[in-house]
Chains A and B, each alone.
Chain A
């Protein structure tokens, strides 16, 4: 099958396909009319409601829980606490259990009397209505033996330690490449800066929710708001001691995730246990306040980055240190150093992570985990270095352009960063920028222009899809993926349509059910590439079967042809040498009295159309393509800000993003996703901050009234473009994914523009008016 014409050749631009076209969302109508069912919207016979009660204190022990008043309320069916939670086969409370479950946190509430963090669930009330359950939860009285909590690594009493590994063992606590310290010491130019990042919460529009139905004593169905159906299924099955196939997880629509729905958090299994206890289907939806202590966050952190460089701005050394808060059980820190190590050609690098345990839940992946705050540090420091040396910020980046992956010397599978810089600069008018900082004014506003680089890896991933093609000319395509609202339904419909030679309205793509072929978590930007490749490869299997059928069919014009001589054009199989000779699949199938035909496919990382692995057998063990390429997306942001010279308010007034991220499956949904990531990054840059009280270790602003995310008035018209990349190595479709990279570098671009406007550097996110006014007054 390696001689098969590949997707780019038959269905690339100019071949009349729909992949890449700005198709409207196939689920758009259902969403705006309310027909689309989110996980908490399935009407079920006998459904009852669960409400969590969170701990008021952040550290201590539960001495007693009085549930009498709650139980007396009409309609209340059960109050679950650590004293009566139905027993689980496994909990994440030890590292072995945590690993087996794939839990995001090494602790499950309601399994002990210890309180580790404020908001930790201490009771789950089930009642016949949501209102009754909510009221009854407020009547549960808990007596605590209160201890003084620790709120963060910044507390003088915090014990800072060097973990061997962070991010659940995925990242080493200390890494070095060459002798960075020596290189730094002898570098002619040095720069050192410290950056802080506030606690951020994901705050998807749709809160976390679980609806659990025990179909029988050992069969469970869960409607779950999750980015990963299979991960949730495995987690639950492991905790419950059930075979995986006896747990069904369904997520038809998702109202955003941004990482907080990437793993199975405590409320899910607690709801399942509540359903067991009351022997009824139970629905539980986290409140907005509970979303702040229910599904992780981006940790509070300080980074120090030291740079050694030549007088020409060529990097010689990068030394990075990060200190952050983690929970009492886990060593979680997002891997900031990854992008710092990779972004520029620098011969030496050193990174270390420090952690301090505090009374908080475990932090988790938050859009562009690691890359977002890491890029803030490196991209602000690069900017500083540029000003320090009198070099244009874009020019200094070009002088340090990494032609190959500096971390391992491998060639890039594709990299269009130079084109991104050039196109972005052109669209933005970067050459019109005043090179001097703090020197452009329009009335009361200081005008600044900033830019930053973005990068994100293509992560190892694989998945499966099934294509069923019907003789009447329509197809049903399935994969157990999730659509976070980003357009998975739509883009997979487009891929299947082109791969089968059908119009998109003849294709129905189904996702969001663990009964469908397994797909990876929609996280780390892997879904688009993996699922689209799975669909494409599955379609190839259908064609392969049809070809075999045709060449064995006496009535077919292709009778007795060699399989390798038959190619597919749109919906027809034809002879490579004589394209007039052939037939479409419908004629062939009807003649053979086949109503439908099925194919499955495995889309894999590193199995690109030139690697010889696509669509070969599954090989989940390999970490890279055979050519040994380093696989990453790259991009560049350019922005303009207006800073009120007296009051310090910052408004972003212009924005240009250009990315090279492999094949773009849908110009419209991709543009929207990049805009969304930009807005997310502007939020982190200018306003998002969760405040944890230093004495109570409890969030004070756990609401969308006080936790500010950007509103329309904060966001200007944005220009988004892509550099077309045909990456033959990443996966069968050449798709890198854009969900994460869209946020990388955004905060730095804003901060760099603020510096250009004011001549003052704010290194503490978010860059709020008080901080800007503060530096302007100095």
Chain B
């Protein structure tokens, strides 16, 4: 770990101004990923700007849905009654993440930016195109059990590791960003994360001087009837092998609208739009669910150790859909 300076910002402008001048500086909120990566020498920042005093707070009901300030903590959002009742998949995803200690620290904005757990990325002795562009991707023929079967490239198959973003992307969340000029823009979470392609070092559309202000999620029948299922190697405190966030609006046995996203199978939180379309107008039966799940993994390109994810992802989607219609 390098020496670094530490400053506190109380306004967004103050914070983003630092990053405008020095792209090497980093914002720190909960620090649950950043400090890890700095200790591992994966990231080196000469300056940390503490943004915890920036007033991006609040979990509130707006005219068209839910608004969560980027600096709210995972535990607070996960336990918030509005979220629990109206957006259960988001609450479940949060409460199945990490540990209580980490959830008490980690912020919503930071969680959206959580970096991959690809073991090659996290050990600087290995080549890694994401960490050191052009150096290679040993994961392609190595320890890829936890890595992506969808959205990968020959340069990178690193999985997006989170839970919350999977639930949010399923429920059409939109992120609000603000730059150093104070200008805000709204971006669907679906478009927020980038596929690795040949530039795996670029992970989101966030500009250097932009901060995440808030996440909004539209209210919907399928959001109220949403659910998150996480499959992992141990009962708690582990990243998903695969996960699924689903939402369904079923009227008279017929599906009116459907939402499906998968975690730990894609290089970004993986929305299965095709599968959702297939469900609309269909009866809420296991047969429909299976057909949709098959569509969700179409085009999967597994490697040696993550072949199981093709089947497990489908079964997880079916499980999640069955559980909300049970």
Q: Is A96 an interface residue (CB 8 A)?
A: no
Contact B241–A56 (Cβ < 8 Å): no
**Residue from B41, B141, B316 within 8 A of A647 (CB atoms):** B316
Residues of B within 8 A of A706 (CB): 117, 119, 146
Contact A777–B311 (Cβ < 8 Å): yes
Q: Which residue of A lies closest to B125 (CB)?
A: A56
Contact A774–B235 (Cβ < 8 Å): no
Residues of A within 8 A of B120 (CB): 700
Contact A647–B234 (Cβ < 8 Å): no
Q: Is B172 an interface residue (CB 8 A)?
A: no
From A252-260, A402-410, A657-665, A688-696, give the one contacting chain B: A688-696
Contact B1–A708 (Cβ < 8 Å): no
From A32-40, A169-177, A566-574, A710-718, give the one contacting chain B: A710-718
Q: Which residue of B lies closest to A691 (CB)?
A: B143
Q: Is A619 an interface residue (CB 8 A)?
A: no
Chain B window 90-131, contacts with chain A (Cβ cutoff 8 Å), 1 for yes, 0 for no: 000000000000000000000000000101101111100000
Contact A774–B308 (Cβ < 8 Å): yes
The distance from the CB of B290 to the nearest CB of chain A, in whole angstroms, is 11
The distance from the CB of A277 to the nearest CB of chain B, in whole angstroms, is 25
**Residue from A131, A289, A686, A695 within 8 A of B142 (CB atoms):** A695
Residues of B within 8 A of A702 (CB): 123
Contact A769–B125 (Cβ < 8 Å): no
Contact A770–B1 (Cβ < 8 Å): no
Given A646-B315, A770-B241: A687 and B233 interface contact (C-beta under 8 Å): yes
Interface core residue of B117, B122, B123, B316 (most chain A CB under 10 Å):
B123
Q: Which residue of B lies closest to A132 (CB)?
A: B3
**Residue from B236, B311, B312 within 8 A of A713 (CB atoms):** B236
Residues of A within 8 A of B5 (CB): none
The distance from the CB of A51 to the nearest CB of chain B, in whole angstroms, is 11
Count A-side interface residues using an 8 Å CB cutoff. Answer: 39
Q: Which residue of B lies closest to A766 (CB)?
A: B233
Q: Which residue of A lies closest to B312 (CB)?
A: A773
Q: Is B187 an interface residue (CB 8 A)?
A: no
Q: Is B231 an interface residue (CB 8 A)?
A: yes
Contact A651–B235 (Cβ < 8 Å): yes
Q: Is A698 an interface residue (CB 8 A)?
A: yes
Chain B window 137-150, contacts with chain A (Cβ cutoff 8 Å), 1 for yes, 0 for no: 01001110110000
Interface positions, chain A 635-665, Cβ under 8 Å from B, are 646-649, 651
Give chain A's interface secondary structure class.
loop
Contact A700–B123 (Cβ < 8 Å): yes
Q: Is A617 an interface residue (CB 8 A)?
A: no
Contact B143–A693 (Cβ < 8 Å): yes
Residues of A within 8 A of B233 (CB): 686-687, 708, 768-769
Q: How far is the CA of A338 from the CA of B123 in the complex (A)?
A: 39
Residues of B within 8 A of A687 (CB): 233-234
Residues of B within 8 A of A696 (CB): 126, 138, 142
Q: How far is the CA of A648 from the CA of B232 in the complex (A)?
A: 10
Contact A769–B312 (Cβ < 8 Å): yes
Q: Which residue of A lies closest to B304 (CB)?
A: A694
Interface core residue of B120, B146, B234, B312 (most chain A CB under 10 Å):
B234
Q: How far is the CA of A451 from the CA of B123 in the complex (A)?
A: 40
Q: Which residue of A lies closest to B315 (CB)?
A: A646
Q: How far is the CA of A286 from the CA of B140 in the complex (A)?
A: 30
Chain B window 213-255, contacts with chain A (Cβ cutoff 8 Å), 1 for yes, 0 for no: 0000000000000000001111111100100000000000000
The distance from the CB of A203 to the nearest CB of chain B, in whole angstroms, is 14
Residues of A within 8 A of B316 (CB): 647
The distance from the CB of B86 to the nearest CB of chain A, in whole angstroms, is 27
Q: How far is the CA of A289 from the CA of B124 in the complex (A)?
A: 12
Residues of B within 8 A of A770 (CB): 145, 241, 308, 312
Contact A694–B308 (Cβ < 8 Å): no
Residues of A within 8 A of B315 (CB): 646-647, 773
Contact A711–B125 (Cβ < 8 Å): no
Contact A649–B231 (Cβ < 8 Å): yes
Q: How far is the CA of A686 from the CA of B316 in the complex (A)?
A: 20
Contact A646–B319 (Cβ < 8 Å): yes
Q: Is A548 an interface residue (CB 8 A)?
A: no
Q: How far is the CA of A706 from the CA of B239 in the complex (A)?
A: 9
Interface positions, chain A 553-593, Cβ under 8 Å from B, are none
Q: How far is the CA of A138 from the CA of B1 in the complex (A)?
A: 8
Residues of B within 8 A of A768 (CB): 233
**Residue from A118, A693, A698, A713 within 8 A of B235 (CB atoms):** A713
Contact B234–A134 (Cβ < 8 Å): no
Q: What residues make up the interface of A, taking CB atoms closer than 8 Å to B?
A: 56-57, 118, 131, 134-135, 138, 289, 646-649, 651, 686-687, 691, 693-696, 698, 700-703, 705-706, 708, 710-714, 768-770, 773-774, 777
- Known interface pairs A646-B315, A769-B232; 12 further A-B residue pairs with C-beta atoms within 8 A, sorted by A's residue number: A647-B316, A686-B234, A687-B234, A693-B126, A694-B142, A695-B138, A698-B123, A701-B143, A705-B117, A708-B234, A713-B234, A714-B235
Question: Closest 5 A-B residue pairs measured CB to CB?
Answer: A713-B235, A770-B308, A56-B125, A700-B119, A700-B143
Q: Could you write out 25 A-B pairs with CB less than 8 Å apart?
A: A135-B2, A138-B1, A646-B318, A647-B312, A649-B232, A686-B234, A691-B145, A693-B126, A694-B141, A696-B138, A698-B126, A700-B119, A700-B120, A700-B126, A700-B143, A702-B123, A708-B233, A711-B236, A711-B237, A714-B235, A768-B233, A769-B232, A770-B145, A770-B308, A773-B311
